[in-house]
Structure 1
Amino acid sequence: MLFDIPFPKALTTLLYLLIFLPRISGIALPYSRAGKPAISPIYEFPNGTWVENIAVRSNGNLLVSLISTPELWEIDPFGPDRPKLLHEFPERHGLFGIIELSPDIFAVITGVFDLSDVSYTPGSSAVWKVVIKHGKKVSVEKITDVPEAGLLNGMTLVLKNPPTVLMSDSDLGSIWRLNTETKEYAQVLSDETMTWPPDVPSPIGINGVRKLNDYVYYVNFVKGLFCRVKVRKDGTAKGPYEVITDELSFPDDFALMQDGTAYIAGNPSNSVFRVTPGGEVTTIAGGANSTLFASTTSAAFGRTRKDRGTLYAVTGEGNVIGLEVKRL
């Protein structure tokens, strides 16, 4: 069985027409405006490139996953060097979530696409380990397939030893746990705040997911939610599922500050939202007519002294952008 899924240009045509326009007509986008951050375009991929997710190496370089082609790229946000292709995954795979397991060791989610009709194959999700040796040489191996999953999408580290990740399932409306060493996996979290309404044609419920302290934070793409749940060390729920805000317009992936403030990609609202721990939503960049932030998909903070106050955002139009958010 195949179902429609966002893809370059098709998100703003196929899915936008089917889902977003009927819903967005009843949703106002005038969130209060925060002070505008300084914005620095970092790189623009060729037309037709959909950048899905981003992680940051300890040396400051950006790793970006593409959904339009099965490729993982590395970008130096400070230097003049062109982006470097680190690895090309199997044909017809698109890349979704990416997370660091330990220094220069990353996990990446892939899934199979049918490019002829812009569809995704449920049950095709796989998780891979990417090791960057000595800062340069790259080795890649499959950790496991997850055929029981619908559409694995976002990913976060829940346990460092052994390296264990949580993965959002946008189709089934749940979160899976995967021990990357034993390769054992199971569904560990499920709630109505993660599911998608039955009256929409494409199953995109829970999307981005992040762990901070004792909580797992997540968004629901179609329902416009930003939520959290207190968890045990194994990723199972320890407390109630909490809705921080229900006023987002199609949130995608996001980055978290230590105080719980979230910077959330708005896709296809072409925006970056700031959500306080109390649920106040502000638009800090982009807007309905923005081309630079068109189809913003994910965000991550810099990790060096030079860019710890910089939020890096990526988009479905192939843009990689830096935003100075330290003083907002």
Structure 2
Amino acid sequence: MQVITTLIMACAMGSVSASPLNLGTSDLALGPKAKADAPAPGPGPGPVPVPSAAKPLNFDLKSKAQLPLPQRTVYQFPEDHTWVENLYVRDNGDILMTMMWPKASLYLLKNPSTNPEGTEPTLIHTFDDAQGLLGIAETAPDTFAVVSSKFSAMAAVVAGGSAIWEISLQDVANPKVRKVTDLPEGGFLNGLVKLHSAACRNVAPADRKTVLVSDSFNGLVYRVNTNTGAYEVAVKVPEMDPVEGAALPFGVNGIKIVGHYLYWANSDHTSMHRVAIDMTNGHMREGATVETLVTLKDTAFLDEFDIDEDGTIWGVTNADNKLIAMRPSAQGGSYEVVLGSNTEMTLAGDTSARFGKGAFNRRTLYITTGGASVVPVNGTITEPAKLVAVDTRGYLN
């Protein structure tokens, strides 16, 4: 309920100026630990009240769970040189996976928490006008927006070849697919998140299917109306930029909205950031400043992430096959590797991470991989893409 309350107020406040939140208290608190009667944010600038049960963030990260965390392979594709880029967990717990190589295919895996290893996913649709799919988000019940791109080789995007699509799965056996828009200005369209919640009562229902899409090469986030196809740059700040002169420039990658904040990972800088946004249009709020939450050392890359109910950010590193738990704080944050390493195949080329849904699945983190296809483990070892389930129960609880 706290999340819904925050979203309602965030939509209602529009472009009210927002001061950075006090990272000494957990404004990241999500899920069942948030109290239904927690106070809503006030209309003026300043810290947003949080549930009294929220845990402080300004402490060194210490795990109560034995590391590495328990994991199991849910499914592994049979062919080598395959790359699953992203996933979305449906409300019923089923998982949608986007394949970036060799085909732009969308797969559905049912009941991942109970299916035995080897249960094959269902191919939902292959997009003929692209080589790969990337970010995915649900914009309306059983309706999803997805990023497609053309590639000349694995991870080698073709300039001007990106597009946004909509696919309806109200009838999974007969999906309805339409192209929303081409986005030829895009460099490397990547992460995707829905902007508006159904709680945004001051946003017309027809506009609640708007999404934000990250462009890793150009260091910015687009806003795309999936009804009309209209798009524009919503957020562009230096903290989204890639490293200047990099051979493969990757700035902003995974993105997520919590409350009225846009969170993102910067791949090249291996850092996590957030900024307050206007929930009606996706732009930065007037007077808002970017907060750097955590900066990783001894990590080559930071890809997608998810945020749990304790405020811990769980990020995957792709190039060095790690899962990292990050805890933001005003003192710069703390983090630790909880699974994988640059010499292991456990999470070979991990690409995205999402928590399951439901009372018995909410602490299971699902991770997709690209099989270390671009950066082989130990320089030579690759494998087919796979979906891995990580048990995070007991971590920091």
Q: Quick check: TM above 0.5?
A: yes
Cα distance in 1, alignment partners of residues 386 and 120 from structure 2: 14
Distance 1:320 1:236 in 2: 34
Partner residue in 1 for 2:240:
194
Partner of 1:235: 282
Take 1:187 and 1:33, find their aligned partners in 2: how far apart are those partners? 39
Structure whose residues are more often strand by fraction:
1
Aligned residues of 1:92 and 1:114 also touching (Cα < 8 A): no
1:280 maps to 334
- 1:265 matched residue in structure 2: 316
Distance 1:60 1:137 in 2: 20
| Residue 221 (structure 1) aligns with | 267
Query: Does the residue aligned with 1:193 lie in a helix, a strand or coil?
Result: helix
Pairing of 1:1-328 with structure 2 (within 5 A): 34=63, 35=65, 36=67, 37-45=69-77, 46-68=79-101, 69-76=103-110, 77=112, 78-80=114-116, 81-115=119-153, 119-160=156-197, 161=205, 162-233=208-279, 234-238=281-285, 239-247=288-296, 249=299, 250-278=301-329, 279-317=333-371, 318-328=385-395
Question: Kindly tell me: are residues 258 and 102 of structure 1, through their superposed partners in 2, closer, same or farther at Cα, counting changes over 3 Å?
Answer: farther
Alpha-carbon contact 1:104-1:135 (below 8 Å) kept: no
CA RMSD of aligned residues (A): 1.8
- Tell me by how many angstroms 1:92 deviates: 4.2
What's the secondary structure of 1:268's corresponding residue? helix
What are the ranges of 5 or more consecutive residues in structure 1 without an aligned counterpart? Answer: 1-30
- CA distances 1:25-77 after superposition (whole Å, capped 9, x unpaired): xxxxxx97843322121011121111100101111111111111211111121
Normalising by structure 1, we get a TM-score of: 0.86
Closer, same or farther: CA 108–118 of 1 in aligned 2, 3 Å: closer
> The residue matched to 1:159 in structure 2 has which SS?
coil
Query: Amino acid of the residue matched to residue 298 of structure 1?
Result: S
Q: Which amino acid aligns with 2:347?
A: F
Give deviations 1:124-165, integer Å, cap 9, x for gaps.
110111111245432211111111221110011111342111
User: Would the aligned equivalents of 2:84 and 2:99 in 1 still touch at CA under 8 Å?
Assistant: yes
Q: CA deviation at 1:199?
A: 2.4
Q: Paired residue for 2:5?
A: none
Distance 2:107 2:218 in 1: 29
Unaligned stretches of 5+ residues in structure 2: 1-59, 198-204, 372-384
CA contact (8 A) 1:58 1:104 kept: no
Tell me which amino acid in the other structure corresponds to 1:99: A
Distance in 1 (alpha carbons) for counterparts of 2:309 and 2:228 = 30
Q: Give the % identical residues.
A: 31
1:277-298 CA-partner distances (Å, limit 9, x unpaired): 3221111111111102011110
Quick one: structure 1 residues 277 and 264, their matched pair in 2 at CA, closer, same or farther if it must change by over 3 Å? Answer: same
Structure 1 Cα separation of the partners of residues 131 and 94 of structure 2 = 24
How far apart are 1:306 and its partner, in Å?
Answer: 2.6
Q: CA deviation at 1:305?
A: 2.6
Contact 2:293/2:328 (<8 A) preserved: yes
Shift of 1:259: 4.5
Please, what TM-score do these two structures have when normalized by structure 2?
A: 0.71
- Please say if residues 150 and 172 of structure 1, whose CA atoms lie closer than 8 Å, have aligned partners that are also in contact: yes
**How far apart in 2 are the matches of 1:112 and 1:118?**
10
Q: Residues of 1 paired with 2:188 and 2:161: CA distance?
A: 8
Distance 1:102 1:257 in 2: 23
Letter in 1 for 2:322: S
Q: 1:191 Cα deviation (Å)?
A: 1.1
Between the two proteins, the alignment pairs up a number of residues equal to: 297
Task: Kindly state the Cα deviation for residue 83 of structure 1 after the two structures are TM-superposed.
Answer: 0.8
